[in-house]
Chains A and B, each alone.
Chain A
Amino acid sequence: MFTSAYLGVNLLDNLSFKTNLGMNLTSTREGLYAGSQTNFRNGAQPLARYIAGNSVGLNLENILNYNFNVNKHSFVLTGVHSVLTNHFESSTAEGANQLINSQLYYGLANANSQVSIGASLKESALISYTGRLLYNYNDKYLMTLTARTDGASQLSEGNKWAFFPSASLAWRVSQEDFLKDNGTISDLKVRVSYGIAGNSAVEPYSTQSVLNRVPFAWDESAAIGYTYAPRIGNSDLKWETSTTTNFGVDFGLLNNRITGTVDVFTTTTKDLLLERLLPLSSGALSTIENVGETENKGIELGLNAIAVDKKNFKWNVGVNWFKVNEKIVRLATASNDVANGWFIGETTQSYYDYEKLGIWQSNEVDAAKAFGQNVGDIKVKDQNGDGKIDATNDRVILGSGRPSWIGNLNNDIKFHNFDLNLQLFARWGQMVRYAFTGVYDPQANENSLIHNYWTPENPSNDFPRPNASKSQSATLYYSSLFYKDGSFFKLRGATLGYTLPKSLVSKINASNIRVYISGRNLWTYSKIEDYDPERGGNFTNPMTKVFVGGVNVDF
């Protein structure tokens, strides 16, 4: 539920004050009942669980606005004070072996074993003070100067506050005399901006080493323990700051029948906030840390065109194209961080492993043997050519989870009473870790799906030979099988509608009737067979195709 209230006062003619108060209330509940004969319980006692969550978000903004003009110079000065708070609390109740299945989780109070409860509270706050100057000369020259200082509760003492200035300049070239009445170039604006933005979006209490509950007992008497949670607190957390320089052009051509924008930008992010895996020998598994510095260089293009504009045939085309090159410039650790997949010069989502070349084939008996392997085993590249494969020298960066580019193509077509919308989407060049690969069981012991595995008669290069004495764990370099080119191109959405003729519609006193069918994820071109990589590699929750048919009736 979202509610808001505001109070505005004009203190002077050109001085106003406004207070906005927004409140966002969310209430969630989750009830689960799993009977004994379910996959989840697998023959164990039935389990009931009830989780209730309640979140309160408050957003208060006090805005002071002052504007004045001097000839053609117009100024707007704004001061904003804002407070954003979040309070999320939840409780969980759980129990097993309740007497009557049909009561589902409503009968939780009758559970007679494994009864347990939990409660959690997460609170965070963000306070900021912002000053802004908007300057406008005759709608030709525009300038915005902003200075803000933000305080975030999640960050450590002494590092909670940071200052973020920014400035932008724009020139409406089309307002100049030499372009004013030009029909070919109907609009042209050139923009440049420079600014620093902050990110503090880490979980509350990331600065603290919290304790986890551990059930334990002496004999059958409870002796509950508390131990360190696997994630250790970092008392030195500070703001992640991104400095962006952006150059952009907005344009309209042929009386704005074609409009578009081009943006080129460079962002340098310092003190990047990420969860970092630690050596397990420290007793901790990970920590949230300001891990280093990245640089993003990108270009973004947008183009919208009215391709056909006739009485009974209209066709509007929109294109977006986006490309960002991310690379790590510096890491908190002097060297590359292999455990986290962070390498200088690479993206923050690198895949680092052995490079699979294929499967050792029947005519490679000796070559395989030299590496201590047999035909039918996985063949990986000996990167340093020392005649043996080891984790230190022969793992390489195989690819990145970041795409080379993302593109959108949107078509709106109206032809007589028909309307058609087609949304095409492409994400190209990213690597995914395709979890379904883990389903192949070389022991051939559990049910699986069809995999193209190697046999002497089927010299596949996809999967190693089945072998009752080789579990996945005993198959060298099994993890090298997981990495796939996740590029895809898809028809993300399509809608076909037909508006009934007015003569027909008026007979039932309606003003408009439209019937339509639409679908999502209708068709995908993917380099991974039978898989939509938009899911990112996971196969337990695949992308769904959705078909909807409907009628809109207006009276």
Chain B
Amino acid sequence: MKHINKLFVAIFLFGSIGCSDLLEEENRAGLTANTVYTSPAGFESLVNAAYSYTRAWYGKEEGYNLMEMGSDLWYPGVDNRRLDLMAYSNLQGSEAGLAATETFLERLWQRSYQAINLCNTGILGVKESGMTESLQKTREGELRFLRAHYYWLLTEQWGDVHFSTDATITAQTTANKTPRAKIYEQILEDLNFAIANLPVTTTQYGRATKPAAEGFLARIQLTLGNNQAASTLAQKVISDYTYKLLPKYADLWKMANLKNTEVIWACNYTSDLTLSDLTNAVTNPDGHPRGGHNGHLHFGMAYERTATGSIGMARDVANGRPFVRYMPTKFLLEVFDETKDSRYAGTFKTAWICNKAGKYKKKVGTEEIEVTLALGDTAIVATKYEVSDEVDRTKKYLIIDQSKMYKADGSFNGNAMFVPLQKFDDPTRPTFNEAQSGRDAFIIRLAEMYMIAAEAEMNLGNKTKAADLINVLRTRAALPGKEADMQVSASDMTIDFILDERAREFAGEQLRWFDLKRTGKLVERVKKYNLAAVAFVQDFHNIRPIPQKQIDAVTNKSEFVQNPGYK
């Protein structure tokens, strides 16, 4: 009997755990595409995520370096870590050995393709989303608008790039090089779908709308040389909707005015940092190493650095945390006539008010003068003009003048202290070292529609019309009483004037590199105004090097090759 009992227990233990249900994987805490993207709420999360990749490009150092720098407007600041991108020196696809915060090509390439894969997934799967038919159309329109935007970024930066409208289900090991023209066909198809299906307005700030798609298509048509279409679309956006230029240019950049009548589409950031894109192992595992809008960091100058001769200033929230990445070229400062154009003062910061009282030694030429600064005194003035030592000696404040910034030939002399761009400053950050700003990055604003229409009309030979369009912007930009002085006429309309006007209107707004490339002026203008790059820039720099990491990973290496000129 005893034996039988034991035998029973043994068989029980043996038999009870034999089933192999244990081997079925359930992943009860994780999510997969099949389960999430097939419900309306889940599909919304896909669309939200598809927008989030704009944060990789806009308001980020990666984006500034590829979209704004290497142009006629900017020199590297002393702390710039990507001098190769600033000046086209030694450009290669490899970013091996660089810190995670410095691998710009790889990150933007990767982020854009992650975005496109998600857009493709959504566009192909929207019918299974369980949404109402009309909402399906809207969301598909948004995804197509976004896909067009990401492909535009990719093909403008890298030329003939990998192109696919399929969702990646399994590991892919090859890539194709699709001609830029073919990619533009898809961009046009996507944008036309978006225009036909997107609503005119949205209550959810940051979503794409019909005018945003039209405005972006205007930009594309101008790029493709379809001037009539570009002008028509741009003027439609100007006249058919409720967008209005702000009365004062400087007001565009106030944190209180992030949402204003001029914004057609923006990359949305938040002051609630839980909704920002900083990497967090738990809540955002695949985020960005800095997060938020970073423009307030990168364009700042070293106002608080005593080692570079600064006086009277300590780092604070109002004056920002300067990363000293980008310094204006002499050309950029001089392209403004600040006696009549308010955009100079609206764009640049020229005075710092003492926030650290005390006795300081101020340098004038080679001598040192002792000055006493009280709170509220002017501590630093930065000016594009030359100030003589005689005058300098009579002032308590430190003067950063032309010769401190530039040599006679226009190359930079000192690049720690200069006249910095202040459009992206954010005095509402909670602490002075907080890198994440909640400033939204304007991607398309109304002023661009005027400039697109003007450029297209000029290309079509309608110079008077072009001047009229530009005068709308110049009238807004004029200092009080200077409106008449700001007007331009048909005879002023040249492509160089257009580019100068765009510099005045859009400096720092991540358009410059595309503008120079579109107009075929990249090499010419960089050689003329950017003396840091003059020795390096060549025609092939109109296209970026493909990240070596991408080339190394493809199995069809003979087809997918590096862009010409790069090694």
Q: Which residues of A contact B (CB under 8 A)?
A: 7, 9, 11, 17, 19, 36, 42-45, 60, 62, 81, 83, 85, 89, 92, 94, 96-97, 113-123, 125, 127, 151-154, 160, 204-205, 207-230, 232, 234-235, 276-285, 287, 289, 333-335, 337-340, 353, 388-392, 437-438, 443, 445, 468-476, 478-479, 481-482
B170 & A232 in contact (Cβ 8 Å cutoff) = yes
B84 & A226 in contact (Cβ 8 Å cutoff) = no
B160 within 8 A of partner (CB):
no
B113 contacts which chain A residues (CB < 8 A)?
Answer: 280-283
Q: Provide the bound-state CA to CA distance between A535 and B175, in Å.
A: 37
A7 contacts which chain B residues (CB < 8 A)?
Answer: 9-10, 13
In the complex, besides A19-B13, A211-B36, 14 extra interface pairs with C-beta distance below 8 angstroms are A44-B433, A60-B17, A62-B13, A94-B282, A118-B282, A153-B22, A214-B277, A215-B283, A281-B109, A281-B113, A284-B168, A471-B83, A473-B83, A474-B84
Closest to A232 in B: B171
Contacts A211-B32, A226-B49 known; A220 to B272 CB distance under 8 Å? Answer: yes
Tell me, rounded to whole Å, the shortest Cβ–Cβ distance linking B403 to chain A: 19
B84 & A209 in contact (Cβ 8 Å cutoff) = no
Q: Provide the bound-state CA to CA distance between A207 and B25, in Å.
A: 9
Which secondary structure dominates where chain A touches chain B? mixed
Tell me, rounded to whole Å, the shortest Cβ–Cβ distance linking A58 to chain B: 9
Chain B interface residue count, CB cutoff 8 Å, equals: 115
A283 & B118 in contact (Cβ 8 Å cutoff) = yes
Q: Provide the bound-state CA to CA distance between A151 and B19, in Å.
A: 11
A227 & B205 in contact (Cβ 8 Å cutoff) = no
B116 & A208 in contact (Cβ 8 Å cutoff) = no
A-B contact pairs, 12 of them (CB 8 A): A44-B431, A113-B273, A119-B29, A121-B28, A123-B25, A211-B33, A218-B268, A234-B170, A276-B171, A278-B173, A279-B173, A469-B89
- B:1-48 near A, CB below 8 Å: 3, 6-7, 9-10, 13-14, 17-18, 20, 22-33, 36, 42, 44-48
A210 & B45 in contact (Cβ 8 Å cutoff) = no
B162 within 8 A of partner (CB):
yes
B98 within 8 A of partner (CB):
yes
Closest to A354 in B: B94
B287 contacts which chain A residues (CB < 8 A)?
Answer: 214-215
A118 & B7 in contact (Cβ 8 Å cutoff) = no
A279 & B81 in contact (Cβ 8 Å cutoff) = no
A339 contacts which chain B residues (CB < 8 A)?
Answer: 549, 552-553
Partner of A223, one of B48, B280, B284: B48
A209 & B33 in contact (Cβ 8 Å cutoff) = yes
Contacts A279-B554, A445-B78, A471-B84 known; A153 to B23 CB distance under 8 Å? Answer: yes
B174 contacts which chain A residues (CB < 8 A)?
Answer: 279
- B:400-446 near A, CB below 8 Å: 430-435
Partner of B49, one of A123, A153, A225: A225
Tell me, rounded to whole Å, the shortest Cβ–Cβ distance linking B281 to chain A: 8
Tell me, rounded to whole Å, the shortest Cβ–Cβ distance linking A358 to chain B: 18
Tell me, rounded to whole Å, the shortest Cβ–Cβ distance linking A114 to chain B: 5
Q: Which 6 A-B pairs have the closest CB atoms?
A: A43-B433, A283-B117, A225-B49, A118-B282, A225-B48, A218-B204
A287 contacts which chain B residues (CB < 8 A)?
Answer: 171
Tell me, rounded to whole Å, the shortest Cβ–Cβ distance linking B53 to chain A: 8
Closest to A333 in B: B555
Closest to A153 in B: B23
B93 within 8 A of partner (CB):
yes
A276 contacts which chain B residues (CB < 8 A)?
Answer: 171
A122 contacts which chain B residues (CB < 8 A)?
Answer: 29
Contacts A281-B550, A469-B532 known; A476 to B92 CB distance under 8 Å? Answer: yes
Tell me, rounded to whole Å, the shortest Cβ–Cβ distance linking B193 to chain A: 21
B31 & A210 in contact (Cβ 8 Å cutoff) = yes
B284 contacts which chain A residues (CB < 8 A)?
Answer: 212-215
A151 & B20 in contact (Cβ 8 Å cutoff) = yes
A220 & B270 in contact (Cβ 8 Å cutoff) = yes
Tell me, rounded to whole Å, the shortest Cβ–Cβ distance linking A472 to chain B: 6
B532 contacts which chain A residues (CB < 8 A)?
Answer: 469
Tell me, rounded to whole Å, the shortest Cβ–Cβ distance linking B7 to chain A: 7
Closest to A393 in B: B567
Tell me, rounded to whole Å, the shortest Cβ–Cβ distance linking A480 to chain B: 9
